[in-house]
A and B are shown apart, each in its own frame.
Chain A
Amino acid sequence: MSLRSDFTAFLNGNGELFSFSLRFFRHGLNPPFEFAEFIKQCYVIGYKSLPLIGLTAFIMGIVLTMQLRPSMADYGVESQLPAIVAIAVVREVGPVITALIFAGKIGSSIGAELGSMKVTEQIDAMEVSGTNPFKYLVVTRVLACTLMLPVLVMLGDAISLYGAYLGVNIHTNTSFNLFWTQVFDNLVFGDVLPAFIKSFFFGFAVGIIGCYKGYNSSRGTEGVGLSANSAVVVSSVMIFIIDLLAVQVTNIFDY
């Protein structure tokens, strides 16, 4: 009984999220555009999360290399370490870890920001001031997330590989040039492009879910905390779902 009502609530939630996304496309494609706010959000969303993403990517690069080394050495292919790490980082670890950190930092802050704007009537105030709050707040943030995350993923990948270079050099002495030659010799377009494309979807998911949760925040300060929290949880799960779908689609093209 309760399982059934939970399930209907889940489906209803998805339906609302879907119509919220449709509304994004309807409002987003119609002028006037809130260009100044969009640029500001790109700065806030992209630039401000760079240090955190850079740090985690760097550590990930080192750790991944150190974890892979023993097995690689057992098979006698230790020299292939840069290549295998590069493929792991570019195809999977980079985009997913970056997106998860992004969801934690940006998804929650969008959820909390819009949530508190909702409960303190700031969204209503915008509306009576001749502004379409959906365009001003939601469209700009979702677009900024969608465009900034791929950029962050690429920067994160690069920083990860620097970390990997450090990781390789803990045991053996590999020159900087040799490391990067090995990386680029083994990376093909088919590794880079799907990862790049899926990070747009990750960014969109984080943006739209954060905005949806904030925009539909229930009254009171509790509601704000709850929307921030569920923005992170739902968008993290969504990242994995998109990842799963992406790998299926990529495989169709590979074979």
Chain B
Amino acid sequence: MTSDKQVLNSSLDKVMLINNLCKSFGDRHILINFNLELIRGESVVVLGKSGSGKSVLIKCVIGLLRPDKGSIKIFGKNIPDLNHDELDQVRAKIGFLFQSNALYDSMTVRENLEFPLRRHWIEVSQEEVDKMVEDALEDVGLRHTIDMMPVELSGGMRKRVALARTLILKPEIILYDEPTTGLDTITSKEIIELMIEIQEKYNTSSLIISHDMNCVRMASDRVVMLMDGRCYANDTYENLIKSEDPKIKMFFE
């Protein structure tokens, strides 16, 4: 799967390019000269233990945190340099699945899905909005929950609704922050399958943050290991499991 894709993309259409990214909180250096690239249609998993700064990385990418140094180029635009309106335009093309789902508690599922649509695309008719909301819910198999409140849903359903909300703007890049944490093995497999399905259906590029081996095995074209703020390894899953390096082996046991 990997090799065909990379041949196909021999033009190296890089949708995201992170260069020498540094971020620290006080004197705690979380990211130190971190590098990463993401090619169109590719799915990269960032692997790292808890507290290694994976969420910090992904929040720098979407512009929620400001890096101290380095560049993050998405579609050729450097995120830290953009003003507010430009940033919104780039964000409209990026989906972000939050670690805690971040569904709005006070809104129904329908309103949750409408929110990014109404905010990013001001001129859409109500019929179009309804259609897109229904389609997105259809994609995740939860059409019937449309008028429910998030508290009425199970953990797995909430994750799916959150995924539907990220999908609704038809993003070109999806950032997943630990999509399977807190879910049982079966549900997390379903979520991973759904992610792969979406990837193929809409030809999105994905940056997946995870420490779930199933997710790495099933969904990754390439794995980047984040260790002590740096990119420790960058290879395919197949190559990494064969590695003799004890630090890498630690993850695959």
Contact = CB atoms under 8 A, between A and B. Distances in A.
Contacts of A129: 91, 115-116, 119-120
Given A130-B88, A130-B91, A130-B92, A124 B64 contact: yes
Interface in B104-149: 104-106, 115-116, 119-120
Interface stretch (B14-22, B33-41, B93-101, B222-230): B93-101
B119 to A, nearest CB: 4
A119 B64 CA distance: 14
B100 A121 contact: yes
Contacts of A121: 98-100, 102
A121 B59 CA distance: 11
Contact of B104 (A119, A125, A127): A125
A124 B100 CA distance: 11
Given A130-B92, A130-B116, A124 B102 contact: yes
B64 A122 contact: no
A126 B59 CA distance: 13
A189 B75 CA distance: 65
Nearest to B89: A130
A95 B105 CA distance: 33
Contacts, number: 46
A217 interface: no
Contacts of B102: 120-122, 124-125
B62 interface: yes
A202 B108 CA distance: 33
Nearest to A44: B106
Q: Which bracket fits the contact residues of A?
A: 10 to 19
A116 interface: yes
Nearest to A130: B119
A72 to B, nearest CB: 49
Contacts of A120: 100-102, 105
A116 B151 CA distance: 13
Which interface residue of A116, A121, A127 has the most chain B CB atoms within 10 A?
Answer: A121
A133 B43 CA distance: 31
A116 B150 CA distance: 14
A8 interface: no
A188 interface: no
Given A128-B96, A129-B119, A130-B116, A122 B104 contact: yes
B161 to A, nearest CB: 12
Interface in B44-95: 59, 62-64, 88, 91-92, 94
A124 B59 contact: yes
A138 to B, nearest CB: 15
A122 B107 CA distance: 12
A136 to B, nearest CB: 9
B83 to A, nearest CB: 13
Interface in A110-162: 113, 116-117, 119-122, 124-131
Contacts of B106: 113
Given A128-B64, A129-B115, A122 B105 contact: yes
A41 to B, nearest CB: 11
A237 B115 CA distance: 37
A122 B115 CA distance: 12
Given A121-B102, A124-B102, A131 B64 contact: no
B98 A124 contact: yes
Interface string B2-37: 000000000000000000000000000000000000
Nearest to B97: A125
A44 B119 CA distance: 23
B105 A116 contact: yes
B82 to A, nearest CB: 13
A130 B91 CA distance: 8
Contact of A130 (B59, B96, B120): B120
A211 B193 CA distance: 40
Contacts of A125: 96, 98, 102, 104
A51 B120 CA distance: 39
Contacts of A117: 104-105
Interface of B: 59, 62-64, 88, 91-92, 94, 96, 98-106, 115-116, 119-120
8 contacts: A119-B100, A121-B100, A122-B102, A125-B104, A129-B119, A129-B120, A130-B119, A130-B120
